[in-house]
Amino acid sequence: GWEMSSDATIKIGQSGATVRLLLDNTTTTELCFVHIAPVTEGEWGDDQMGDMESISPGGKRMFFVEPGIYDLMVADCDGETVVEEYEVDLNSDLRWAIE
């Protein structure tokens, strides 16, 4: 589902997705794959970026998730893992700087 507020903010995902994760690409690498998986899942699941999207060096992207604890993984456009973080507390908004 999706929702658009009067200030032109678009929310994509489930209606309970109230926590904002700001991914800040501070690297010199274009990022094409972002996986955000609840720690209980045991696998990465779907790419959150979509087929035609990427985050260029210096770029940012906002993701909305339900409150919880997540494993996070980002990969470059060749599918090579750039960073993985485990058991990240996303019960409140977070800025995640990829360095």
Return averaged pLDDT per consecutive 10 residues of the chain, 99 residues in all.
Answer: 54 68 96 95 89 91 93 96 96 95
The angle formed by the CA atoms of residues 82, 88 and 91, to the nearest 5 degrees, is 135
d(CA 12, CA 72): 18
Neighbours of 17 (CB within 10 A): 16
pTM for the model stands at 0.80
d(CA 46, CA 34): 9
Please report the pLDDT score of residue 33 as a whole number: 96
Please report the pLDDT score of residue 17 as a whole number: 73
Please report the pLDDT score of residue 8 as a whole number: 53
Please report the pLDDT score of residue 60 as a whole number: 95
- Residue holding tokens 């060096």? 57
Please report the pLDDT score of residue 14 as a whole number: 59
Radius of gyration of the chain (CA): 13
